[in-house]
Amino acid sequence: MKHIPSYEKLLTELNNLKKFEQQLVNSEKKYRSLTENLNVGVYRNTPGAKGKFIEVNPAFLQIFGYKNKNSILGLHVSDLYETPSIRKKISDKLKTQGYLKDEEVRLKKKDDTSIICSVFASAVKNSTGKIIHYDGIIEDISERVVLRDKLIENEEKYRSIVNNSPDIIMRVDSKGTIIYINFKYAGKTPKEVIGKTIYDLMPSEFHHKAKDSLIKVIDTGKSFRYEHVGLSNDDKVVWYRNNIGPIRSNGNVIGATIIARDITERKQIDIIKNEFISSVSHELRTPLTIIQESIAQVLDGIYGELTDGQQEILSPCMEDINRLNRIINDLLDISKIESQKILINREMIDIVKLVKNVMSSFKNKVEAKNIKLKLKTSLKAIEVYVDNDRIIQVFMNLIGNAVKFSEKGKIEISIMKSENSVECIVSDTGRGIEHKDLATVFDRFHQVGKIVSTQEKGTGLGLSISKGIVNLHNGQIWVDSQINKGSQFHFTLPIYTVDEILFENIERGIVKATKKHIKLSLLIIRLNNFEEIENKFGLDKAKETTHKVLEAFQDVIAPGEFSFIKGRNEVILFSDITQKNILSIVEKLENILANFISNFSKELDIIMSYGYSIYPNDANSAKDLLQSAYKTLLIKNNYK
């Protein structure tokens, strides 16, 4: 007998079924509302060449420009393809792979306009493994693709500019380590150069300039330029001009871009041009001096009283001759600087005093224009190792320009000391310089803005001469300016230690001695108990004691026979005298020391010694020559 379930049991099962049906309806509703509210197209279609859409959401209709679902459900999937044959390829891929991930497909809308879509899809199989339909998500990415293509095109354009540029383009970090380089350098692949520093690509004499420029870029965020010698791709020695600018990240400068241009050809042309300028200027100078002299004599009335008419004609002539003289002097200076034939005679100079002197020579001019000229510094004095006349020339030019290009306001000269350099700023409230001209004001013959009166008219060479002089001192010069607000010309001068100065002098002396086939004698006089004297009587007295010996010594030698450097506890003297002569000099020195010490002070027990060496007899290099002199100093008798 068949078992008949009880009525209650049937009722419970029916209730369970109803509950299950309700759950299904709820779940279907949930997913339908989810797909209907999604703003990406969701679809299901059948596989095969004649595959059709079974289900699509409203966003799908919107992407393709259809109003109602039925018009899509009647279509073949391939009808939505711009090129229907592509559908087979995509469908095959889906079949073999089982899914599509971010597949970019060109489709078309109802009005036949084409769109680019990204498709994610998967093949749904039945229990026997047969594909029964494809489910997918589709998004219109046409706008994004256009933007992306533009970006790629731009990127490629710039990449090709960088790669095809005749200039070397590098990115470096704040220490100068190369992170990127656009092509081979000195026959080395970028890989071989990346990780090295820019200093590895140039001789050591340019390191100072390169380091200074990089530090300046990092500190100020501004661009700088410098020139140096390096190697070309085919290993030839060439001149580069480096333009160095900041790389920023979150507002901080984290490195620099360097564009190095081969300027060898320009340098060679410059040499020819400089020689030409130099010889023409020399040729012009003599007749000009004669004309100047003659006109001056006529104007002074030496050849008889001048009529008003004669005076009127000759006075402007004199002004023009003065201007011509200025031009010739500037031309000679610039050709000397550029051909590196300029000699700089450096000595320890107090810059504060130097500036005060230069300022006093502008007194009349600034008073006439009602401009205030002020010095702003907390330093009483600061000694820098420079060529006095040349640094005066730089200040004359910068202050002269500030006066020339200001009609009112004030000119301020600041002197500041940092750890290893002195920075001078000439700042005015004059007409300023336009931003676009800032990079070229230091170029030769470059005059920008309105021309000033003919009397004041310059040559456009002052700033390039100043730059040359500052660079010769291993300093940097740059300008900040705002049109109609004023300009600030900055320049730095490195502070050298006595040892550095000494070394440089010995090296220079050796070069000169070798060239002229003469000797170089080095004589060191040292105050041995400097510290003891300093502790007892102070630093000034200790220094004075050392330097007093020098004064006494200078009295017994011929003027100009020795040049000298004053150190802290020693004086170093140079001369081209021979060995025989140095022996007689040393004899004099011994007398002086003995005399000096006994007369100097009863309460002070000073101990001094001296040592000397001669090039090339004792040593061949600056380092060895110095060492040799120090050695004799240590074994010589001390003078008490």
> Contact positions toward ligand ADP, by CB under 6 A?
397, 401-402, 405, 428, 430-433, 441, 446-449, 458-463, 487
Residue 153 structure tokens:
């095109």
As a 3-state breakdown, the chain gives helix, strand, coil percent values, each rounded to 5, of 45, 25, 25
> Nearest distance from residue 462's CB to ligand ADP, in Å?
3
> Nearest distance from residue 367's CB to ligand ADP, in Å?
19
Indicate the residue among 265 and 456 with the shorter CB distance to ligand ADP: 456
> Nearest distance from residue 435's CB to ligand ADP, in Å?
13
Our CA dihedral for 428, 429, 434, 440, rounded to 10 degrees, sits at: -10
Indicate the residue among 459 and 476 with the shorter CB distance to ligand ADP: 459
How far apart CA 526 and CA 549 sit, in angstroms, is: 10
Q: Please state the φ and ψ torsions of residue 636, each to the nearest 5 degrees.
A: -75, 160
Cα-to-chain-centroid distance, residue 573? 38
Indicate the residue among 215 and 472 with the shorter CB distance to ligand ADP: 472
Alpha-carbon distance values, 485 to 413, 432, 440 (Å): 17, 6, 19
Indicate the residue among 143 and 456 with the shorter CB distance to ligand ADP: 456
Residue 412 structure tokens:
């301020």
> Nearest distance from residue 465's CB to ligand ADP, in Å?
8
Q: What is the DSSP letter of 307?
A: P
> Nearest distance from residue 209's CB to ligand ADP, in Å?
21
Indicate the residue among 484 and 637 with the shorter CB distance to ligand ADP: 484
Indicate the residue among 134 and 405 with the shorter CB distance to ligand ADP: 405
Indicate the residue among 41 and 462 with the shorter CB distance to ligand ADP: 462
- Residue sitting closest to ligand ADP (CB): 458
How far apart CA 573 and CA 524 sit, in angstroms, is: 6
Which of 53, 84, 80, 82 lies closest to 69 in space, CA to CA?
53
How far apart CA 406 and CA 592 sit, in angstroms, is: 57
Q: Which helix (H) or strand (E) is 282 found in, with range?
A: helix 264-299
> Nearest distance from residue 317's CB to ligand ADP, in Å?
21
Indicate the residue among 77 and 398 with the shorter CB distance to ligand ADP: 398
Name the amino acid, one letter, at 245.
G
How far apart CA 398 and CA 490 sit, in angstroms, is: 10
Question: Parallel, antiparallel, or unpaired for β 372-376 and 410-417?
Answer: parallel
Indicate the residue among 432 and 567 with the shorter CB distance to ligand ADP: 432
> Nearest distance from residue 411's CB to ligand ADP, in Å?
9
Q: Could you give the 3-state DSSP secondary structure of residue 186?
A: coil
> Nearest distance from residue 449's CB to ligand ADP, in Å?
5
> Nearest distance from residue 393's CB to ligand ADP, in Å?
11
Cα-to-chain-centroid distance, residue 633? 45
> Nearest distance from residue 336's CB to ligand ADP, in Å?
16
Which of 359, 353, 354, 338 lies closest to 469 in space, CA to CA?
338
How far apart CA 233 and CA 264 sit, in angstroms, is: 13
Indicate the residue among 45 and 487 with the shorter CB distance to ligand ADP: 487
Residues 6+ apart with CB under 8 A from 449: 405, 431, 433, 434, 437
Q: Which helix (H) or strand (E) is 348 found in, with range?
A: strand 346-350
> Nearest distance from residue 354's CB to ligand ADP, in Å?
19
How far apart CA 443 and CA 436 sit, in angstroms, is: 14
Indicate the residue among 84 and 460 with the shorter CB distance to ligand ADP: 460
